[in-house]
Structure 1
């Protein structure tokens, strides 16, 4: 496990460096004037608090709060954030001003705000009027016939939208009842309303970011360590670590609805390893047992990880962590035991290496474990090159409860994604 701790410590050490700023083309709106330059690109929760602006990439930074500017946005990403006042939910709370992400701006405008807990709140504004929060509540109902209780949802936001959109004859009551309190559903009904009553009023609509799938080959250079604990002769086996080469296919799918910097990284890898050890246990009266142990193994492994990528410039750092499962497609293992009695008489037997006494074959074909790594990507004309250091620890190759095998692997992976 020390390798895992070292990898995690490396990730924590590199995290502050990964958190460097990522300035992209954008603009701020202050006192009715639009000033173009570059804005630090962050997640929606951070973007709701302030904007860090530069007129040039080499220029000084300026931080603007919702009190300082009325709006800011990113040009290429077509993201717009407007300074808005959120009214308090109760008399004991105070009104707060935040940058709200503008999903649709028109006669009916739809906004999203992510709070400190990363929970999404949605607001409607009619003709630049005050914000109306779109909410729903959960409650418990009791069936009078059966006496059973069940959870129900009061879609308060449906009534809010129905009143606000009453001047559009094309919106049917059934459409409103089927709405869900999520971005795609709310944006669709707001878009339909604007097209119905004032299509020319639409000034902005948040661009949909689709998930991107990248597929490509990956080469793996790795060293696997094998150790045993428990009531077994194998705990004394000095297995050597050798560098091996494997590979397979890698798949990466971005998760733009959750976070543009998150993706799922999955690979199908062929990983082979060979472990041998020769040692002798001395007994009483000149007796001894010499062991010649070998494991010639090959696994198909499927690591599935959540990846966080820092999109900055050409070289983009990332780190990922997740789980791995594998199945042994080759499990040749044996031990040859040579018993020597009183220094002269010898006899030998060959058994499966686990447990090594000929009673059973205790090799486990299916394995599972955890994995973590960090790396870099670099774009090329036809794809993306990646380089990663990774550590994996799994539950080993012994199916016998009293014998525990510890298998850990350190990888260097080189991949190319299309």
Structure 2
């Protein structure tokens, strides 16, 4: 039964993840433009994807209902979207390939990003990646040391050596969009030569959405024991229980950095319980058990969410960690011991209010849809959570792993973001 349930959950998880990934291939055309090799600009509709495909191909339509034309970085000089992203065709020496780099700043020094890395370009110096360089060496006593050489600082000094006051500021710069953009703006004030154009400048660095959530969860609980003290749990079959959940949602994102990737924070409250009756024979003695486990907890979830397009109905997937802080965590256990089948049972009360841990860790993964309203949005998500040991290790000899316990939870969660 447990293996069947696990298999069903694994299949459900695969469907949840693969379905939104399959629709990722769908295009999301927005008003944009393409700059041809001749320098002419074609206005129309451009595919607005936020994945690695945007660095390798540009899909263009002259009209919303027109046929799609695909351009490679060798076919055009650039493509982009008004007051938004701009991609320039550039040759990456390290990869020996020409790709579309997202241009962040255009000035006397241009700033680009490609797959999380940053590049600077200046007339006469070409284009160069800003990287941390690590060096390894052995000390006199034979210990291996690893140091960071901050190669990006040397690169920036080379590109900005016509402005001495920038040296101190370069030393403090970090390899982030906001820090590098601010540095180039300051350099241009010190050594003017071209106006500063910052792409996506109208988009904020930080945005937050607060919401509420309600839903229903279906949780299974299982134990595996190697010690005779916990055979009543080894033979247990608590099955699964269904219960309501509710809480608060907070979505944090940086539209300037990524349109579709965000950090999802959640707090939920739930209360549930499990029951089981079992019996087993141990060296000629019959043990009968009646058990009830009650749990209530405040759940904290931290996950990375990725949305796949900007349509009204917007699919997404997320993955992260969960922490359950148990409030009510009691196990009631009555055991009846019979030396023979006809003997009067010895009754043992083995209740333990501390057997369940006060904090459980788990991993979560889910997929769902966002429905974008005028000033708010709604969400619907199917989620799976795999919870690690739910019992208190202080009650168990953990050195020989005499007892393990896990939970598996499938939830359907609906949310409303203000």
- Please indicate the TM-score interval, normalised by the length of the shorter structure: 0.7 to 0.9
Taking the aligned partners of 1:121 and 1:348, their CA distance within structure 2 comes to 71
Q: Deviation of residue 321 (structure 1)?
A: 1.3
TM-score (norm 2): 0.81
Q: Secondary structure at the match of 2:10?
A: helix
C-alpha RMSD over aligned residues: 3.4
1:14-413 matched pairs, under 5 angstroms: 14=19, 15-30=21-36, 31-43=38-50, 45-76=52-83, 78-86=84-92, 88=93, 96-106=97-107, 108-114=108-114, 118-126=115-123, 131-133=126-128, 135=130, 137-139=133-135, 151=147, 152-154=149-151, 155-163=153-161, 166=162, 171-195=165-189, 201-202=195-196, 205-207=199-201, 208-230=203-225, 231=228, 232-256=231-255, 259-281=258-280, 289-339=287-337, 343=342, 345-352=344-351, 362-399=355-392, 400=396, 401-413=401-413
C-alpha spacing 1:345/1:71, structure 2 compared with 1 (3 Å): closer
| Structure having the higher Rg | 1
Per-residue displacement from partner, 1:58-115 (whole Å, max 9, x unpaired)?
A: 2211111222222211125x211223445x47xxx96x43333222224x1413141x
Per-residue displacement from partner, 1:342-380 (whole Å, max 9, x unpaired)?
A: 5363443322269xxxxxx53322211211111111122
Q: Secondary structure at the match of 2:159?
A: helix
Compare 390-399 and 320-329 and name the one that shifted more. 390-399
Taking the aligned partners of 1:395 and 1:150, their CA distance within structure 2 comes to 35
Q: Secondary structure at the match of 2:183?
A: helix
Taking the aligned partners of 1:134 and 1:142, their CA distance within structure 2 comes to 28
Q: Deviation of residue 57 (structure 1)?
A: 2.7
Taking the aligned partners of 1:18 and 1:187, their CA distance within structure 2 comes to 31
Taking the aligned partners of 1:223 and 1:100, their CA distance within structure 2 comes to 46
Q: Deviation of residue 221 (structure 1)?
A: 0.1
Taking the aligned partners of 1:225 and 1:177, their CA distance within structure 2 comes to 54
C-alpha spacing 1:33/1:186, structure 2 compared with 1 (3 Å): same
Give the total of aligned pairs.
393
Per-residue displacement from partner, 1:257-302 (whole Å, max 9, x unpaired)?
A: 76432211121111211111234447899x8544321112112211
C-alpha spacing 1:342/1:6, structure 2 compared with 1 (3 Å): closer
Q: Deviation of residue 211 (structure 1)?
A: 2.6
Q: Deviation of residue 389 (structure 1)?
A: 0.7
C-alpha spacing 1:180/1:305, structure 2 compared with 1 (3 Å): closer
Q: Is the 8 A contact 1:335 1:350 kept in 2?
A: yes
Per-residue displacement from partner, 1:7-60 (whole Å, max 9, x unpaired)?
A: 442245312223322212211122333222111112374333221111223221
Taking the aligned partners of 2:159 and 2:281, their CA distance within structure 1 comes to 84
TM-score (norm 1): 0.81
Q: Is the 8 A contact 1:389 1:410 kept in 2?
A: yes
Which structure 1 residue ranges, 5 or more long, are not aligned? 355-360
2:417 equivalent to 1:417: yes
C-alpha spacing 1:205/1:143, structure 2 compared with 1 (3 Å): farther
Taking the aligned partners of 2:112 and 2:343, their CA distance within structure 1 comes to 85
C-alpha spacing 1:40/1:266, structure 2 compared with 1 (3 Å): same
